[in-house]
């Protein structure tokens, strides 16, 4: 299976399966002498891990990681850095019923026909379980860029039909104190009720994760095929259940006039900025110094308990009523992953800019 690596300079290679002995990541290109905050890495993993509330998958994984290489006395050595996360709570018997059946809208069918040897236990490489290692790598990227004062904020903007108010202040967006990563308590309660109802109905729901990048230096991103948004797109669309991505004014700009959405430049003291930020902090695929913002749309989880018509590996029609440990909504647990992938892109583009300059 190809395409398990991402990045040009700060490059990660992902390995492992949902129900194998563990998952991991090899990080190449990290300079020597970078202080690695092991507490931060564990904190980021804890934010993503399952079993943390009744609103997500009940699979219990501690996600305690180990460094196998690339670090000495909590500093990077310049050698490839390998992070290993053991799987400790596999229950492959929960997936026996899926061995010969394809879940509707899941990767089961395409993996089976592409490779002919599908790991039905939780989806194997198609499982979001492998993203735990991505989160660990993202925390390493965060360590690399700590001195730059770049800040990445990700949160749940919409879940099912419930969306946070558009006029929330930056302080409000940063005050997230619930497992849904929703910055608006009243909306968070409605979101929680929607997930609980989906569980009762043996169904699933989707939503939108918003991300904002602050203090990003001007000039990150390369012309043409190396655009900032292209790199973000490659990373984000590698994440399970993602169906849409928009920057700044996004799709709403398609029904506007240029005079309505162009970001006019203004002087602010001795510096300059744009009056609006419909470009989402990017122009020509390069950061312009304004906050970079984008939204990621997630579809409802494919595996649900409701009876659905499907086919089996023999091409016969059958009815599937899936069992096992699945998220009724992947959106809250996607927040730390989207943030981690954003850090990976930032680290890669930052190192590339250093080389080019």
- 283, 247 contact by CB (below 8 A): no
Identify the pLDDT of residue 127.
86
DSSP letter assigned to residue 330: -
Phi and psi dihedrals of 307, rounded to 5? -60, 135
Phi, psi for 151 (deg, rounded to 5) = -130, 135
pLDDT in tens, 71-127: 999 999 999 999 999 998 756 666 667 778 888 888 888 888 888 877 777 677 888
Residue 102 covered by a domain: yes
Is residue 298 situated within a structural domain? yes
Using one digit for the tens of pLDDT, what is the confidence trace for 185-229?
999 999 999 999 999 999 999 999 999 999 999 999 999 999 999
**pLDDT exceeds cutoff 90 at 327:** no
The answer to whether residue 330 scores a pLDDT higher than 90 is yes
pLDDT given at position 270: 77
Q: What is the pLDDT of residues 286-300, one digit of tens each?
A: 999 999 999 999 999
Q: What is the C-alpha to C-alpha distance for residues 288 and 244, in angstroms, rounded to an integer?
A: 24
Count of domains in the chain? 1
Domain contains 115: yes
Quick: pLDDT tens for 160-191.
999 999 999 999 999 898 999 999 999 999 99
92 or 47: whose pLDDT is higher?
47
pLDDT above 90 covers what percent of the chain?
74
Cβ 9 vs Cβ 128: under 8 Å: no
Confidence of residue 142 (pLDDT cuts 50, 70, 90): very high
Whole-number pLDDT of residue 324: 66
| Residue with more model confidence, 244 or 97 | 244
Contact 163, 181 (CB under 8 A): no
Task: For residues 346 and 211, give the distance between their C-alpha atoms in angstroms, rounded to a whole number.
Answer: 13
Alpha carbon distance 174, 204 (integer Å): 27
- 271, part of any domain: no
Instruction: Assign residue 22 the CATH number of its domain.
Output: 3.60.150.10
274 within 8 A of 267, measured Cβ to Cβ: no
**Domain-embedded: residue 141:** yes
Does the structure show a pLDDT above 90 at 60?
Answer: no
SS3 content of the chain, % helix, strand, coil (to 5): 35, 25, 45
Specify the pLDDT at position 25: 98
Indicate whether 40 belongs to any domain: yes
First to last CA, the chain: 36
Q: Are the C-beta atoms of residues 111 and 46 closer than 8 Å to each other? A: no
Task: Specify the pLDDT at position 313.
Answer: 87
pLDDT of residue 104: 87
Query: Per the domain annotation, does 301 fall within a domain?
Result: yes
pTM: 0.93
As a whole number, the mean pLDDT across the chain is 92
pLDDT band at 350 (very low <50, low <70, confident <90, very high): very high
pLDDT at 266 over 90: yes
Query: Distances from the Cα of 189 to the Cαs of 55, 194, 209, in angstroms?
Result: 12, 9, 17
State how far the Cα of 17 lies from the Cα of 121, in Å rounded to an integer.
9
**Could you tell me which residues come within 8 angstroms of residue 212 by beta carbon, excluding any fewer than 6 positions away?**
152, 153, 154, 173, 291, 292, 293
> What pLDDT score was predicted for residue 1?
47
Beta strands in 22-96 (DSSP E): 22-28, 66-69, 71-72, 75-76, 81-86
181 occurs within a structural domain: yes
Tell me the percentage of the chain whose pLDDT exceeds 70.
94
Average pLDDT over residues 311-328: 85
DSSP per position, 23-48: EEEEEE-PPTT-B--HHHHHHHHHHH
Domain limits for position 145: 5-256+278-356
Which residues fall within 8 angstroms of residue 219, CB to CB, at 6 or more apart? 286, 287, 353
């Amino acid at each position: 299976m190809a395409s398990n690596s991402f990045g040009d300079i700060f490059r990660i290679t992902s390995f492992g399966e949902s129900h194998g002995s563990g998952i991991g990541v090899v990080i190449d290109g990290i300079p020597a002498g970078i202080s690695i905050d092991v507490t931060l890495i564990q904190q980021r993993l804890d934010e993503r891990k399952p079993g943390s509330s009744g609103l997500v998958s009940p699979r219990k994984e501690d996600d305690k990681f180990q460094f196998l290489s690339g670090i000495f006395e909590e500093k990077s050595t310049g050698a490839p850095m390998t992070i290993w996360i053991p799987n400790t709570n596999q229950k492959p018997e929960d997936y026996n019923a899926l061995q010969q059946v394809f879940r509707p809208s899941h990767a089961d069918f395409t993996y089976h026909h592409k490779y002919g040897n599908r790991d039905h236990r939780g989806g194997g490489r198609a499982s979001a379980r492998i993203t735990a290692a991505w989160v660990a790598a993202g925390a390493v990227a965060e360590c690399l860029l700590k001195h730059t004062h770049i800040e990445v904020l990700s949160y749940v903007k919409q879940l099912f039909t419930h969306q946070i108010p558009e006029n929330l202040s930056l302080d409000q967006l940063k005050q997230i104190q619930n497992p849904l990563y929703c910055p608006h308590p009243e909306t968070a309660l409605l979101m929680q009720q929607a997930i609980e109802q989906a569980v009762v109905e043996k169904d699933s729901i989707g939503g939108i994760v918003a991300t904002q990048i602050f203090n990003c230096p001007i000039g990150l991103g390369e012309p043409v095929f190396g655009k900032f948004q292209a790199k973000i797109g490659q990373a984000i669309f590698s994440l399970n259940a993602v169906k849409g991505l928009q920057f700044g004014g996004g799709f709403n700009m398609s029904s506007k006039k240029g005079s309505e959405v162009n970001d006019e430049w203004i002087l602010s003291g001795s510096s300059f900025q744009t009056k609006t930020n419909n470009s989402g902090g990017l122009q020509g695929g390069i950061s312009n110094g304004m906050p970079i913002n984008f939204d990621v749309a997630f579809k409802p989880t494919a595996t649900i308990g409701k009876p659905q018509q499907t086919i089996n590996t023999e091409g016969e029609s059958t009815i599937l009523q899936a069992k096992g440990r699945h998220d009724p909504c992947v959106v809250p647990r996607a927040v730390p992953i989207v943030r981690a992938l954003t850090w990976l892109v930032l680290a890669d583009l930052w190192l590339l800019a250093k080389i080019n300059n």
